[in-house]
């Protein structure tokens, strides 16, 4: 009976250690945008001034490079546009009482060596100025087509689409985050809106 107890204790300890390791032991938030090609190409004094004046935090239009779990899994992620409020695409879809839709258009470019296969909306969240976070919802808005819920990108390929969030009407949306692997990768990109 003592041997079973020891085995059970070892199994529980091992599962606990694996859970702690898998749950964000190296989690980071990436918010420094990639340098624009024009600033890299110009080696003059104006490029140095532009670089020092560049935003420290990513905003709409900026690209962040994120890594996924698998070796060679990497995306360049750009927040292209924001639709706030987002108008429902049909008469059957509407936000709940006291809420509105907010749409964020993402462009994902597979810059890694592995195929990217995921449901990108699972890894997206918006945060309001009070710190409340909101996950994506299933809704289409008139701003454009939704991001595929089953996106597969070979290296070099790109995907473009809207991810929709349902937030209280009074909330001021402040940031949007994106994490690969349906939100479970260690790197999270964050853009100020």
Number of residues that this document lists for the chain: 193
What pLDDT score does 18 carry? 37
pLDDT one-digit tens code per residue, 25-45: 578 998 889 875 434 444 444
What pLDDT score does 31 carry? 86
What pLDDT score does 36 carry? 58
Task: Give me the long-range contacts of 31-35 (CB less than 8 A, separation at least 24).
Answer: 31/57, 31/58, 31/64, 31/189, 31/190, 31/191, 31/192, 32/56, 32/57, 32/58, 32/64, 33/58, 33/59, 33/62, 33/63, 33/64, 34/62, 34/63, 34/64, 34/65, 34/76
The mean pLDDT of 147-158, rounded to a whole number, is 96
The pLDDT-based confidence of 8 (bands split at 50, 70, 90) is very low
The two tokens of residue 156 are: 């070099």
pLDDT one-digit tens code per residue, 164-185: 999 999 999 999 999 999 999 9
| β-pair type (187-192, 28-30) | parallel
pTM over 0.75: yes
pLDDT one-digit tens code per residue, 105-134: 999 999 999 999 999 999 999 999 999 999
Residue matched to tokens 């995306």: 75
Instruction: Characterise 156 by phi-psi region: left (phi > 0), alpha (psi -120 to 50), beta (else).
Output: left
What pLDDT score does 56 carry? 86
pLDDT one-digit tens code per residue, 37-87: 434 444 444 444 444 455 589 999 999 999 999 999 999 999 999 999 999
What pLDDT score does 139 carry? 95
The pLDDT-based confidence of 2 (bands split at 50, 70, 90) is very low
Q: Does the pLDDT of residue 11 top 90, yes or no?
A: no
């Amino acid at each position: 009976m003592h041997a079973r107890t020891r085995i059970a204790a070892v199994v529980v300890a091992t599962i606990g250690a694996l859970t702690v390791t898998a749950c964000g032991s190296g989690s980071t938030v990436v918010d420094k945008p990639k340098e624009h090609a024009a600033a890299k190409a110009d080696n003059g004094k104006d490029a140095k001034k532009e670089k020092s004046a560049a935003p420290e935090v990513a905003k709409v239009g900026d690209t962040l490079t994120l890594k996924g779990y698998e070796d060679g899994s990497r995306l360049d992620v750009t927040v292209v546009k924001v639709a706030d409020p987002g108008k429902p695409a049909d008469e059957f879809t509407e936000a709940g009482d006291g809420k509105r839709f907010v749409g964020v258009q993402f462009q994902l470019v597979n810059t890694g060596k592995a195929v990217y296969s995921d449901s990108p909306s699972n890894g997206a969240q918006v945060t309001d100025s009070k710190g409340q976070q909101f996950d994506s919802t299933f809704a289409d808005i008139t701003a454009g087509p939704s991001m595929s819920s089953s996106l597969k990108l070979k290296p070099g390929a790109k995907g473009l689409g809207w991810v929709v969030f349902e937030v209280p009407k009074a909330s001021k949306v402040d940031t949007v985050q994106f994490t690969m692997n349906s939100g479970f990768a260690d790197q999270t990109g964050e853009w100020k809106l």
